[in-house]
Amino acid sequence: MSEELTTAAELFDAIGAGYEDAFGRPPVVDAAVRELLAVLPPSARVLDVGSGTGRPVAADLVAAGHRVTGIDVSAEMVRIAREQVPGAEFVQADVREWESEPGTWDAVCAFFPFLQLPRAETERALGRIAGWLAPGGRFALITVPADVEDVPVDFLGHSIRVTSFPADALADRVRAAGLEVTGTRTETFAPDKPGAQPEEHLLISARKPG
C-alpha cells in the first residue's frame, strides 16, 4: 500500500483519469441522473458537488440542455472535466468553503464527495446545500453507506481514511437539513480494477419543500 493521502485533493490529483477508467458509469449514478432528467425544468441550474472528470454526470446533464456548474477540490479533476465537458463550468473549490446565493439551484448532485469528511462537516455541508436549493429543488446524494469513522482503506492503490454513515442515519441527516427524502436505492458495484472489491452504493433522492 502506498503512503497515505490525507486529503481528497491529494487523492484525486493522484488518481486523475484513472477514476473514470475504474468506475465508469455505476448503475446507481445512471439511475440518479435519469431521475433528475425526468423532473428538472428546461435549462435547469444544476450544481455538481465533487464533479470529478465531468463524466457521466455533468456531460449527461449538459447534453439534456441544463446549465451545470461543477465544483471539485482536485485541480487535476477540474482540468480533465473542463476538457471533457466544455459546455459546463468547473471550479476548484471545497464544498465546505464555497459560497452560493440561497435558493439559486434547481438541483444539486453530490456523488461520493463526503467520504473523506468528518461526520459533523458532512452534516454542515448538507445544511448549506439545502440553503442553496430553490423551493422544490432536487437533491441527489450517492455514497458508500457504512458505520465507519476515520477508517484506513485502500482505494485504487492509495491509502486513505474514510468516514460514512449507515443508510438510515444518513437519510435522517438529509431530513435534518430541511429536505424531504423522496426515495432511496442501493446497488452493488465492482470497480473495473484488478483486486477491487465490490461495494454497496446508496442513492438518496430528496426535495426541498415549497
User: Average pLDDT by consecutive 10-residue portion of the chain (210 residues)?
Assistant: 53 53 73 97 98 94 98 92 96 96 97 93 98 98 94 68 94 98 92 70 97
Residue 57 and residue 127: Cα distance in Å, rounded? 23
The three-state secondary structure class of 186 is: strand
pLDDT at position 2 is 47
pLDDT at position 1 is 40
User: Looking up cell 423551493, which residue turns up?
Assistant: 135
**Distances in Å between the alpha carbon of 158 and those of 52, 59, 64, 118, 151?**
17, 27, 35, 19, 14
Chain centre to alpha carbon of residue 20: 14
Q: Using an 8 Å Cβ cutoff, are 57 and 119 in contact?
A: no
Residue 19: phi, psi to the nearest 5? -65, -45
pLDDT at position 195 is 57
Does an H or E element contain 39, and which? helix 27-39
Q: Model-level pTM greater than 0.85?
A: yes
In 3D space, the residue among 50, 9, 42, 49 whose CA is nearest the CA of residue 129 turns out to be: 49
Residue 101 and residue 12: Cα distance in Å, rounded? 28
User: Looking up cell 486513505, which residue turns up?
Assistant: 160
The three-state secondary structure class of 198 is: coil
Residue 120 and residue 141: Cα distance in Å, rounded? 17
